[in-house]
A and B are shown apart, each in its own frame.
Chain A
Amino acid sequence: MDDLLAEFIAETRETLETIASEIVVWETQPQDRTRLDAIFRFVHTVKGSAGFLELPQLQHLSHEAETALSDLRDGKRVPDPALIDAILAIVDRIGETMNALEAGEDIDHEGDEALIAALAEDASRKGDEIAPGRKTAARSTPARSIRVPVELLDRLMGGVSDLVLARNELARQLRRSSGDREIDGAFDRVTNCVAEMRETITWARMQRIEALFASLPRIVRDISAELGKQVALEIDGDDVELDREMIEMLRDPLIHIVRNAVDHGIAKPEQRVADGKPAIGTLSISARQSGNQILVAIADDGCGIDTGRLIAKAVSEGAIDASQVSSLDERDTLDLVFHPGLSTVEEVSAVSGRGVGMDVVRSNVERIGGSIDIESASGEGTSFILRVPLTLTIIPALVVAVGNEMFALPRAAIEEIISLTKGSVRLEAIGGTEIAAIRGERIPVARLGKLLERDTDGSGDRIAIILRATRSERFALTVSEVMDHEELVVRPAPAGIMQSGIYAGTALPDNGRPLLLLDVAGIADRAGLRLSMARQDRMHEPEPAQKQGIAALVFDDLDGKRRAVRMGIVERIIDTDARAISESAGVTCLVLDNEILPVLASGTVPESGTLRVLRLSDGGTAIVYPIAGEVDVVTLPDRIEAPGGPGHIAGVVLVDGLPVELLDAHRLFAGHRRDDIPDGEKPSCLILGGDRRWNTEVLGPLVEMAGYAVSFDETTDPRAMDVVIEADGGGGQSIEDAVNVVRLEPLPGSQSGGIYRYDRRGIYAALKEKLAAGGRS
């Protein structure tokens, strides 16, 4: 609510500034209709927001001014100086109220009534002096936050991107010259600063999705009231953050889907009761982050999509051929919702159902690199799932080559990378086109080289990349080679380059050679693969039974390698201050919420800044694994290659066609399990003789660490213990030699067979030996 209020204050102020001049002009030309309209709109907006924010006095004030202005617009009243003064006084008063609201002060409503009275038609005749209620003392309010135009942020972001590229250029130059320690050090600092700035500016552009959801309650309330429906709105995950620009791009599609859900999805109360549902429908909207994507789900418990009617409509509109109906599976059928001009609602209501929209919604979402899925069960409800990237500016991409030309493909569109040489895919030439048969499925093929009109017959193509133009449209793009993964800062390219529709922009990767990012949907178009539903032949062969895969989190490790860890042992992903990690007793630990957790890292842990860590747990023991950044959650393939060497790696799996090392969960915990064997089960060790302080403070802890329950009680019967340490070697012997006694000597190289008391390994070995001799191990 505070955010809303701040937004309201900021917006009202901004408008006040711009209409201040309008008011001045209007004062001199009261007949000027456009100025009057502008002031009317302003007052009207303030009234609406004040009502929503529960500021009754402000609402009252603006309502009265609106009424007077409305009369003026309708010509019911003629502007006279007294009325104009009265309106201006109210506009001023609104400004003062904003100041008071921001400062958190009580709003002084004294004088409001006088202002309102001054609006009355007879006020001017009375000739009363208007009490303007102005406060002359201008308050200086502390600015905790400022509003920044997104354009400015974009420029800042652009500047930082330039900085990154300039740094890369510098890195190349430095590599050429011989290494100078000082320069390298300075350069490293620059690198860190740039990275930090990039992150900061990325976050500066982030906004809680709350900003997007905040308007929904009102919209739902208004539409449901208008349609005589009862809808309870549930919002979840409004603290998820994403790029401001993304929020703006999502606004229209989201509102459209919400309107549709209330209008088409949720039935009238009486109908719902007749269907055995609660009279009040539920619309739940949730957002969550998954890797570098944001998922927004809009689900209603309404009547679902009537697929029969949808198909009938699609056939009658000519969107699909009647003969194809039988070949449509459930997904294809639901996808008809996105077909231009289709709507199943018989009556066109004021709210939606005009048959325009869902196709526009989908293209808007796809334009920002997202996708939209629909699920519906007749009688149970419909849910839409929007998937959009976190940000538009940095795109994870795969670099591919055709001949000696390189191109980037957005990784989000890549479904699979298949080698053409290993026989797992078969290319079939049919009617002048090519079809790839992959695991019983046939999908159309586009050859990138041919598409780009390069002189190639495709014989050099060794790899097929399965791309998803939209959820239902997939195709295989053949290229000669897959090069590398890159995080690209993508820039728009000039029209002369974009004209073909196959490029999404340009980027400058680390190697300094300009790279073109391909537009997957554009390629499908160019290759003529984007067939209309009416012409699209289904080529499903029976699909192999879906296997339940194991989910794994893929992340970039500190040493730069891409690794994966089974999702099951990942408890949380936490951002923490790197300084919370400290090394003590040779063990690196992280203090987290009053807990000390061992840290296991496969690289150098940064000493400052924010550190992202995985909290892994085997159910009992928790460890912390710092990472450079998580990438995605994937389903592990069946095939796990054996590891290449020792370490925490269980094996190598292919994710997106690239090798990813899978962490060995067992070894991770084996090295860090807590010593939680109950004391009763530990072998017992009695320490006798010698200097008592040395025994308790030096030797005792050492033996305890080796897993023994230590006792110093001289009255204990040594024979009852598993092992006994005679610490007073060389001198008097307090106990006789027995099978379970270890003797320590104060000096190394003793002839008596005792162990030097600082020979840690020797002591451990002797204890173990005696323990084994005593029948326990």
Chain B
Amino acid sequence: MNDRLYLVAHIGDTRFAIDARHVDSVASGGEIVPVALSAPYIAGLCALRSRIITLIDTMAAIEGGRANAMEEQTIVVVKIDGHLFGLQVDDADDVVPCSDAQQPVCASFEAGWKRVSTGIIEISGQAIVVIDPAALLATDESLAA
């Protein structure tokens, strides 16, 4: 079986998974430099081992709203289009293999979640949404406001 690895993280009570192939590393964010006039979901920039990371307020990117810059938060570093992004999460729980194919996303999902998720996987009996980091950055009309 070709098991896929997923990184499972949570923000508050919300758990979600990211395909581990997208993940560069998990780190603790340092000092955040705010970026004026940036996309609303961008919390700022930080340096991680001499690399510049663009921090994403994950919830703001999914559900809309302004990003909150919270220092010393756990970030999941992903590489998209050659740029490094740090998704702010409360904690990264585990990397788990999952052999099952992803289930389609429920139609009842909120628009934001529908946009960023690619499917649902089941880990230890719990259903977890898989999100596509690249979709987080897609500028969506509904987020423009």
Contacts and interface: CB of A to CB of B under 8 A. Distances in A.
A453 B38 CA distance: 11
Interface in A372-418: 405-406
Interface string A506-518: 1110001111100
Contacts, number: 73
19 contacts: A169-B50, A405-B34, A406-B33, A452-B37, A492-B83, A493-B54, A494-B137, A495-B39, A495-B139, A496-B137, A496-B139, A497-B35, A497-B39, A500-B36, A506-B45, A512-B47, A513-B33, A514-B33, A516-B45
A169 B49 contact: yes
Given A514-B52, A516-B33, 13 more contacts: A169-B49, A405-B34, A405-B36, A453-B36, A453-B37, A491-B52, A493-B83, A494-B54, A494-B80, A494-B137, A499-B38, A512-B50, A513-B33
Nearest to B40: A496
A508 B41 CA distance: 22
Contacts of A514: 33, 45-47, 52
Contacts of B85: 494
Interface of B: 31, 33-39, 41-42, 45-47, 49-52, 54, 80-81, 83, 85, 137, 139
A497 B38 contact: yes
Contacts of B54: 493-494, 496-497
Interface in A470-515: 491-497, 499-500, 502-503, 506-508, 512-515
A162 B37 CA distance: 27
Given A454-B36, A512-B47, A516-B35, A496 B41 contact: yes
B47 A513 contact: yes
A483 to B, nearest CB: 14
A496 B52 contact: no
A436 to B, nearest CB: 23
A516 B33 CA distance: 9
B116 to A, nearest CB: 15
B118 to A, nearest CB: 21
A773 interface: no
Given A452-B36, A500-B38, A495 B137 contact: yes
A166 B38 contact: no
Given A494-B54, A514-B33, A516-B35, A166 B49 contact: yes
A168 B47 contact: no
A162 B49 CA distance: 10
A494 B51 contact: no
B52 A508 contact: yes
Contacts of B51: 162, 165, 508
A68 B99 CA distance: 60
Contacts of B47: 508, 512-514
Nearest to B42: A496
Contacts of B45: 497, 506, 514, 516
Contacts of B139: 495-496
A503 B35 CA distance: 10
Consensus secondary structure, chain A interface: mixed
B52 A506 contact: yes
A480 to B, nearest CB: 14
A499 B137 CA distance: 12
Contacts of B34: 405
Nearest 7 pairs of A and B residues by beta carbon = A496-B39, A452-B36, A500-B37, A165-B50, A514-B45, A169-B50, A494-B83
Nearest to A499: B39
A513 B32 CA distance: 8
A491 B47 CA distance: 13
A493 B84 CA distance: 9
Nearest to A402: B36
A507 B52 CA distance: 8
Interface in A149-194: 162, 165-166, 168-169
Interface in A517-568: none
Contacts of A507: 52
Contacts of A169: 49-50
Contacts of B81: 494
B115 to A, nearest CB: 15
A447 B36 CA distance: 14
Contacts of A162: 50-51
Contacts of B137: 494-496
Contacts of B46: 514
B48 to A, nearest CB: 10
Contact of A513 (B31, B37, B41, B42): B31
Interface core residue of B35, B80, B85 (most chain A CB under 10 Å): B35
A162 B50 CA distance: 7
Give the one of A452, A494, A515, A516 with max B CB within 10 A: A494
A497 B53 CA distance: 12
Nearest to A515: B33
A495 B80 CA distance: 11
Nearest to A161: B50
A426 B81 CA distance: 47
Contacts of B36: 405, 452-454, 500
Contacts of A405: 33-34, 36
A172 to B, nearest CB: 9
B42 A166 contact: no
Which residue, of B34, B36, B47, B85, has the highest number of chain A Cβ atoms within 10 A? Answer: B36
Nearest to A491: B52
Nearest to B84: A494
A117 to B, nearest CB: 55
A503 B38 CA distance: 10
Nearest to A163: B50
Contacts of A493: 54, 83
B16 to A, nearest CB: 20
A406 B81 CA distance: 26
A515 B35 CA distance: 10
Nearest to A498: B38
A363 B47 CA distance: 33
A452 B38 CA distance: 10
B83 to A, nearest CB: 4
A492 B50 CA distance: 15
A508 B48 CA distance: 10
A616 B137 CA distance: 57
A716 B41 CA distance: 98
A520 to B, nearest CB: 16
Contacts of A496: 38-39, 41-42, 54, 137, 139
B68 to A, nearest CB: 16
Contacts of A497: 35, 38-39, 42, 45, 54
A256 B35 CA distance: 39
A491 B81 CA distance: 13
